[in-house]
Amino acid sequence: MKHTGSCHCGKVAFEVSGEITGALSCNCSICQKKGSLLWFVPRADMTLLTPENAADTYTFNKHVIKHRFCSVCGIHPYGEGIDPKGNAMAAINIRCLDGVDLAAVPVQHFDGRAH
């Protein structure tokens, strides 16, 4: 299934392929403040519909995750990183996807403060 998504103002837009079987809610210092619900997919399954430089990047701590956000509206639609096996991944904020029934998505809580 193909999903479309964007930040609030639309400056950062993308498509992502796959079935949303669950999302992760992390309580690390940034995720808790953003309120993201994350769906992890191979980075190759996400296609930007706007130029890559439309999204700014924020990194912190170990600088391994690129938290991508819109400099106009401030929304964080996705992040990018590498999984433990070395594969490029995207962490899609499903709150930024069009037409997703968030109440129907099972949410797993992750203690990011402990990691």
Of the candidates 41, 47, 23, the one whose C-alpha atom is nearest the C-alpha of residue 88 is: 41
107-110 β-sheet, strand order: 55-58, 66-70, 78-82, 88-93, 38-42, 23-26, 107-110
Query: pLDDT value at position 18?
Result: 97
Q: How many domains does the chain have?
A: 1
> Domain range holding 7?
2-114
Tell me how far CA of residue 62 lies from CA of 3, 6, 16, in angstroms: 30, 27, 27
Q: Is the dihedral of CA 30, 68, 70, 15 positive or negative?
A: negative
Span 15-44, average pLDDT: 94
What pLDDT is stored for residue 101 in this prediction? 96
3-class SS of residue 6: strand
pLDDT at 113 over 90: no
pLDDT on residue 69 = 97
Q: What is the pLDDT of residues 52-107, one digit of tens each?
A: 999 999 998 878 899 999 999 999 999 999 999 999 999 999 999 999 999 999 99
**CATH number of 91's domain:** 2.170.150.70
Residue 61's pLDDT is 80
- The residue to which tokens 């706007």 are assigned: 50
Contact criterion met (CB below 8 Å) for 11 and 57? no
Q: What is the mean pLDDT of residues 4-19?
A: 98
At residue 114, the pLDDT reads: 78
- Give the pLDDT of residue 64: 84
